[in-house]
Every structure is written in C-alpha cells, then in structure tokens.
Amino acid sequence: GFRLGLESIGGRCVFANEIDPYAASIYRRNFEFDFAAASTSDEKKKKCPPLLEADILDVCAQNDIPSDTDILTAGFPCQPFSTRGEQRGLNDEK
C-alpha cells in the first residue's frame, strides 16, 4: 500500500523488506522486475530493487538502505487490524 501511494505522487521505491515468506512471495509477484530485460536505464530506475526478506531488526540502515533515501515508510502487520483476523489491534503479539 505505501509503495503504490508514493508512486502515484511521483515517489520511487529504493528498498523493500518483508519477514513473512508468503507476503514476500506476493510482493515479488507484484513488484519484482527483470532488470536484464529492461530496454532503457530510465525504465530500470523506475523499478524497485530486490526485496530483502529478513527481520527489520536485522537490517542495517547504513548498509541496506540507500543513503540518499528521503522518506522511509513502514506499516503494522495487517493481520491484527484486518476484518479477516481476530482484530486484536495493538494488543496482538505481532
């Protein structure tokens, strides 16, 4: 959601992270890009780099996130807030 919102106003994704393997597979299906098949460097710049599948607590801001990043967004896990879940909200262990 955050990525689509930012892209709709001209933003560009430079880093993506997900800990859950299933969620990561969905993200890859929707957003990963074959850089070798891109016809222009401009086309390559518009696409997000590969997803880093790891716990965000293990991510090193100095090494993993580009230094020229202007905005860093993050969100709660959806399950505690979804109408499909138990709706524990902030009381959920996630």
* Contact call for residues 15 and 49 (beta carbons, < 8 A): yes
- Catalytically active residues, by annotation: 78
Question: Is residue 81 very low, low, confident or very high in pLDDT (cuts 50, 70, 90)?
Answer: confident
Per-residue pLDDT of 30-67, as tens digits, reads 887 655 555 565 555 555 566 888 888 888 877 888 88
Is residue 88 predicted with pLDDT exceeding 70?
yes
The pLDDT of residue 9 is above 60: yes
Mean pLDDT computed over 7-24? 86
Cα dihedral across residues 80, 83, 88, 90: positive or negative: positive
> How many angstroms separate the CA atoms of 49 and 65, rounded?
11
Question: Measuring CA to CA, which residue among 24, 14, 30 is closest to residue 71?
Answer: 14
- Residue 68 pLDDT more than 80? yes
Q: What is the pLDDT of residue 28?
A: 85
